[in-house]
């Protein structure tokens, strides 16, 4: 398959007027979510018939889908830049969606590489059978001392948040921003009123601070953590 195909699938889904999830697109096209996820990650290729269905659904030509970088083309009328939610995922040999782990060595580049197929595909990946199959998870190393009782060096699990407006104030999330990278904070949601989130540490030595919507790249709702030591 062409080098543009997987990037175009992610881009088209993220910029569609209804911002459909992988599950929603799969349902509309009559397939399994794991099949669509495999196409987005480059682990499998659609048939010619499926390619036509994809092109029809997103109102593009099959030629453009395969040979052009749609993200660099002139914007379509239905594209809303502040609503982009690009999520690159990987699947295992059975087309089950992976939980990717972002090691410390890759953490610094995550804010730039989060939407890059090659970057995400290079991350270690694993499965946890007790997590919901209908949600997307990713694991990050925790650094610092701002969120006790978590200890620096533990691993934090995040559940991907597609609709940022749905986040209730007081929710603990992993927030990815261009300047700070990945931070774990309690989030207070003022997107409707002021286009900002206020991030607060559990360690009172650190003052709360705002982040603009335009600076945010991804948000992952806290879903658990793993540590080799018992919390104190």
Instruction: Kindly give, in sequence order, each residue whose CB lies less than 8 Å from that of residue 120, ignoring residues fewer than 6 positions away.
Output: 41, 88, 89, 90, 100, 113, 114
The two structure tokens encoding residue 65: 């889908």
CA distance 11 to 115: 9
Domains of the chain in start order, with CATH, are 5-83 (1.10.260.40), 99-226 (2.10.109.10)
Predicted TM-score (pTM) of the model is 0.68
CA distance 197 to 87: 21
In this prediction, residue 80 carries a pLDDT of: 39
CA distance 191 to 75: 24
Paired strand residues for 184: 174
- Report pLDDT digits (tens) over 183-228: 999 999 999 888 899 999 999 999 999 999 888 999 999 999 999 9
The DSSP code sequence of 19-57 is ---HHHHHHHHTS-HHHHHHHHHTSS---HHHHHHHHHH
CA distance 214 to 56: 31
Q: If DSSP codes are grouped into helix, strand and coil, which group holds residue 156? A: strand
Q: If DSSP codes are grouped into helix, strand and coil, which group holds residue 72? A: helix
Task: Find, among 206, 169, 171, 170, the residue nearest to 191 by Cα.
Answer: 169
- Report pLDDT digits (tens) over 1-35: 667 888 888 888 877 777 788 888 888 888 888 89
- Report pLDDT digits (tens) over 68-123: 888 776 444 333 344 445 578 888 887 788 999 999 999 999 998 898 888 999 99
In this prediction, residue 84 carries a pLDDT of: 44
Average pLDDT over residues 153-160: 96
DSSP 8-state symbol, 76: P
């Amino acid at each position: 398959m062409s080098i543009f195909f997987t990037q175009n699938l992610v881009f088209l889904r993220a910029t569609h007027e209804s911002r459909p999830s992988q599950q929603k697109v799969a349902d509309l096209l009559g397939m399994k979510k794991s099949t669509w996820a495999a196409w987005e990650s480059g682990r499998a290729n659609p048939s010619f018939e499926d390619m036509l269905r994809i092109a029809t659904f997103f109102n593009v030509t099959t030629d453009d889908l395969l040979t052009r970088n749609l993200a660099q083309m002139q914007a379509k009328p239905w594209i809303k830049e502040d609503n982009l939610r690009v999520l690159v995922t990987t699947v295992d040999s059975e087309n089950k969606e992976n939980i990717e782990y972002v090691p410390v060595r890759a953490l610094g580049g995550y804010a730039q590489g989060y939407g890059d197929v090659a970057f995400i595909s290079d991350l270690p990946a694993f499965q946890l059978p007790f997590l919901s199959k209908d949600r997307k998870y990713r694991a990050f190393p925790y650094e610092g001392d701002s969120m006790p009782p978590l200890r620096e060096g533990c691993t934090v699990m995040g559940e991907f948040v597609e609709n940022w407006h749905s986040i209730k104030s007081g929710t603990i999330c992993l927030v990815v921003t261009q300047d700070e990278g990945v931070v774990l904070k309690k989030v207070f949601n003022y997107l409707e009123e002021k286009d900002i989130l206020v991030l607060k540490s559990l360690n009172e030595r650190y003052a709360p601070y705002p982040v603009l919507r335009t600076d945010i790249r991804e948000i992952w709702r806290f879903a658990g953590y793993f540590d080799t030591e018992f919390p104190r």
